[in-house]
Structure 1
């Protein structure tokens, strides 16, 4: 059994305070574009792969996949407004063995609702809009995952928690190489 890092129960509790709000699952992913400029976009948290690696899904036709292949280091920001806290998660996208990646992609595909699967049936993200293009509202359960349905497994190396309630705000950091020992920081 994997021992959970000490920040995981804090994140779970903060997410639970969000209730059914989409904010409980939305986080922002920061990457670096080939020209060195930053890029940020919102993705949906899809679950934990182990104690300190999380899964996100993306369309392989989007720019972020090429950015991550060039520079796999990322930072995630998870703002949980009802819990009045922000988690900053730093790590890198893992390259999985082909058979593991295929199994995990298929597992995530099966867990998606038909409406959530539909996003991967849409035309290429960021391309010019074609008025005749099809944007399905659902993809049936028996639809196989398309090649551009991609898994991003991110191994976390550092986690910071900024608690925005109270005065002064509280800030903590945990680092994998330090055994996930909590370090208090100035907010």
Structure 2
């Protein structure tokens, strides 16, 4: 099992300190479009993948970000916590776990994420193609609550390689960088830097 970077404990503490605020689970994900331009959107943090530092989200297989990941598998998320003035920027490798996944552990992760989602969230994956013009004729389909994940449902993970933590109240900033895997453990460096 990987040893968890100390940035994770700081992030989990910030999330815990803000749990009374609904937006504390929301963050921004930046990717790169095929034409080199940036793309940014808000996602809901769905927890860490068990035993790892990977952050987990859900997404629709038809969304633009899935196409962007085919061009460039790197992304950066940004969290900002309003009460403690803490910012986290996590840069790493994105992985999309969809309906054609063959890795058994990833298939289990996807199915668990589906059943952990609310009925309303599940229904959104049965909606028409994201970004297409609306039609007045569309009726939201009813999903069987016992049915497994539908084809458009994906789990998206970010495997951090750099974490930039800034505490604006205290005026200090720490850079964490992933160095290597040794004997199944993740090795991270930690360096305080000027804000």
Aligned ranges for residues 16-27 of structure 1 at < 5 Å?
A: 16-27=16-27
Q: Which consecutive unaligned segments of at least 5 residues does structure 2 have?
A: 181-186
Report the counterpart of residue 173 of structure 2 in structure 1.
Answer: 171
When the two chains are superposed, the root-mean-square deviation of aligned CA atoms in Å is 1.9
Aligned ranges for residues 1-187 of structure 1 at < 5 Å?
A: 1-49=1-49, 50-94=51-95, 98=102, 99-135=104-140, 139-166=143-170, 169-177=171-179, 179-187=187-195
Q: Distance in 1 between matches of 2:143 and 2:166?
A: 39
Q: Distance in 2 between matches of 1:94 and 1:62?
A: 14
With normalisation by structure 1, the TM-score equals 0.90
The answer (yes or no) to whether the contact 2:96–2:155 under 8 Å persists in 1 is: no
The answer (yes or no) to whether the contact 1:23–1:79 under 8 Å persists in 2 is: no
Q: Distance in 2 between matches of 1:43 and 1:155?
A: 16
Q: Distance in 1 between matches of 2:39 and 2:96?
A: 21
Task: Count residues in correspondence.
Answer: 184
Q: 1:19 to 1:63 in 2, by over 3 A?
A: same
